[in-house]
Structure 1
Amino acid sequence: MKLTTLGPTATVDEVVAVIDRDGGVIIRDFIDSATLSGLLEDLQPKLASNLEDPTTGRGKTGRLGGIFKHTRYADTIVRNPLYREAAERILCKPITLWFGDDSFEAAPTIQIGVTQLIAIHPGEGAQPLHRDDIVWHWRHPEGGPQARVQIMVAISDFTAENGGTLVVPQSHLWGDDRGPSTDQAIPTEMAAGSALIFIGSTFHGGGTNTTDKPRLGLTMSLDLGYLRQEENQYLTIPVDEARALPEDIQRLLGYDGCPPGLGYVEINGTMTNAHVLLEG
């Protein structure tokens, strides 16, 4: 089984349908060449200074977090409707709530949970297959809700030889009593600028790099707004720095609320939306 690849003109309906069926989908040419070049220019020098030295034996995978602190080109990724609107479709499902004798519908918001540029260097072995929603001890009943929609944007070409992300198709349908095996995993193969979109319950992991060049990928997640963020965005990008960001990015980073009342702050005795901290 191979991962389905859709073109950049695919509809959100098509993207969601493939994710619902397989647990993930590849979008060809997800970002344009200018965005790709900008990401490299902004992030690669910072990643190089953050890399563990492969000669020490401490690992051959470099990681750089806090992506929205370092580049505005990442905004393009999270604003792309094939990612953003697909995540909203999968995660922001309304439910009925009661307040006394009255009932009302409320849908959760989404927020950015984790951001990383990841370089898998030559000689690095495969990462253990895992589900990313394990950070919340998430359970997986059949047909149960999802917590995360993740994206991995290829900054360099992804191949079977250089560590292209391993994915176990349809593993998002499994219960918690079933684990993955490596012979079920398929390497993500896509050109730079393309992207893999998958959900938190899909088993996956970085692959083995047997080439002589690093594999670069930029990952981020959109998560349910009522869950704690995996990467602490308030310390990574504190209030003073967050004020300089576009408003939609501020809100996605957590300076917002999730209905019916999660995430408020008290200012002068009044409970209000956290985004007020960034205004004026």
Structure 2
Amino acid sequence: MELTTVEPTATVDEVVAVIERDGGVIIRDFLDPATLAGLTADLGPVVDALPFGVDEEFSGIRTRRLGGIFKHTRYADAVVRNPLYRETAERFLCIPEHIWLGEDRIEVTPTVQVGVTQLIAIYPGEGAQPLHRDDSVWQWRHPEGGRQARAQIMVAVSDFTAENGGTLVIPGSHRWDDERAPRRSEAVSTVMSAGSALIFIGGTYHGGGTNSTDDPRIGLTMSLDLGYLRQEENQYLTIPVEEARVLPEDIQKIVGYEACPPTMGWVETDGVMRDPHVLLEDEFDSAAQVNMGARAAS
């Protein structure tokens, strides 16, 4: 079984349908050439200066990894702003739930947040990564009542092929329980041109492939996760308040400077529970923030 490739003109409904069936989908030409060139120019010199990994089992010893992507480039903003990724992630993650608040039954819908960002350069001679599920960072169980924890994307900064380490994916593995082990023979290689992207969910088994060519395979990966889960990459240390203040407002919020309803992630200022985004604002609507605290207190 091969991964399905759709055009950038595909609808969110079409993308979601393929992911529900296969666990992942390739979007051809997800990023335009100018954005791709900007990513390469901004991130290439930084990752080239990094040492190789020292974890032969998982992270690789012929692989360089750069985190904290949003503090290095504004071209990455286009990834989380693209509706084929953002709205697809929201379809899987932003599922309303009902809770009781006293005698009132209210509907609460979680937000999404960035959980991890990495530019991953797999160099010649690197072996394949063990197949794994990314939602295992929360020890997520499968099936979990239909709710997903993560929607991941891998953008090809260079061409992905079966020979250079294109991400291995086991189609349909998102439907497996936790007793079934992944086998390499079940995996297919992600083959896509630079600028294209693989979108998959947290329960899909995948891993970096073997690079048997003479050139590095470079990909930009990031995740959108449920807003009430701990972020895999600690964004608040990677992008502290002082650095977050200069980011665009929507990027500030998506990396975690926003509370998840009803009140997950609040901060106290002047004795009031407030949305953490106030720490990045010169002025804020005190009434709106007090309402948030009052709702939590009740």
Q: TM-score range by the shorter chain?
A: over 0.9
Structure 2 contact 151–199 (Cα < 8 Å) conserved: yes
Counterpart residue number, 2:12: 12
1:7-47 CA deviation, whole Å, 9 max, x = no partner? 00000000011101100000000000000100000001100
1:50 Cα deviation (Å)?
1.1
Count residues in correspondence.
278
CA–CA separation in structure 2 for the residues paired with 1:25 and 1:107:
26
Q: After TM superposition, which residue ranges in structure 1, 4 or more long, deviate above 3 angstroms? A: none
Given the superposition, is the C-alpha separation of residues 53 and 223 from structure 1 closer, same or farther in structure 2, using an over 3 Å criterion?
A: closer
1:100 to 96, 99, 102: 102
What SS does the corresponding residue of 2:37 show, helix, strand or coil?
Answer: helix
Which one-letter code corresponds to 1:105 in the other structure?
E
Which one-letter code corresponds to 1:44 in the other structure?
G
1:142 Cα deviation (Å)?
6.4
1:81 equivalenced with 2:49 (yes/no) = no
1:194-242 CA deviation, whole Å, 9 max, x = no partner? 0000001000000000100000000000000000000000000000100
Structure 1 contact 114–229 (Cα < 8 Å) conserved: yes
CA–CA separation in structure 1 for the residues paired with 2:222 and 2:140:
19
CA RMSD in angstroms, aligned pairs only: 1.3
1:144 Cα deviation (Å)?
2.8
CA–CA separation in structure 2 for the residues paired with 1:261 and 1:71:
30
Given the superposition, is the C-alpha separation of residues 235 and 100 from structure 1 closer, same or farther in structure 2, using an over 3 Å criterion?
A: same
1:242-277 CA deviation, whole Å, 9 max, x = no partner? 000000000001000001111111111111110000
1:167-246 aligned within 5 A? 167-246=169-248
1:101 Cα deviation (Å)?
1.2
Structure 1 contact 65–117 (Cα < 8 Å) conserved: yes
Which one-letter code corresponds to 1:3 in the other structure?
L
Which one-letter code corresponds to 1:185 in the other structure?
A
1:161-203 CA deviation, whole Å, 9 max, x = no partner? 0000000000000001111000000000000000000001000
Structure 1 contact 121–209 (Cα < 8 Å) conserved: yes
Q: Larger deviation: 135-144 or 71-80? A: 135-144
CA–CA separation in structure 2 for the residues paired with 1:186 and 1:51:
29
1:52 Cα deviation (Å)?
1.6
1:71 Cα deviation (Å)?
0.1
CA–CA separation in structure 2 for the residues paired with 1:88 and 1:259:
14
What SS does the corresponding residue of 1:179 show, helix, strand or coil?
Answer: coil
1:47-84 CA deviation, whole Å, 9 max, x = no partner? 01113289x9x710110000001000000011000000
Q: Name the TM-score, length of structure 2 as normaliser.
A: 0.92
Structure 1 contact 52–60 (Cα < 8 Å) conserved: yes
1:238-257 aligned within 5 A? 238-257=240-259
CA–CA separation in structure 2 for the residues paired with 1:102 and 1:53:
52
Q: Name the TM-score, length of structure 1 as normaliser.
A: 0.97
Which one-letter code corresponds to 1:28 in the other structure?
R
Counterpart residue number, 1:27: 27
Which one-letter code corresponds to 2:11 in the other structure?
T
CA–CA separation in structure 2 for the residues paired with 1:41 and 1:142:
41
1:143 Cα deviation (Å)?
4.9
1:37-76 aligned within 5 A? 37-52=37-52, 59-76=61-78
Structure 1 contact 67–116 (Cα < 8 Å) conserved: yes
CA–CA separation in structure 2 for the residues paired with 1:103 and 1:90:
23
Q: Percent identity?
A: 71
Given the superposition, is the C-alpha separation of residues 265 and 142 from structure 1 closer, same or farther in structure 2, using an over 3 Å criterion?
A: closer
CA–CA separation in structure 2 for the residues paired with 1:43 and 1:139:
35
Structure 1 contact 142–174 (Cα < 8 Å) conserved: no
Structure 2 contact 266–276 (Cα < 8 Å) conserved: yes
What SS does the corresponding residue of 2:49 show, helix, strand or coil?
Answer: helix
Structure 1 contact 97–104 (Cα < 8 Å) conserved: yes
Structure 1 contact 142–175 (Cα < 8 Å) conserved: no
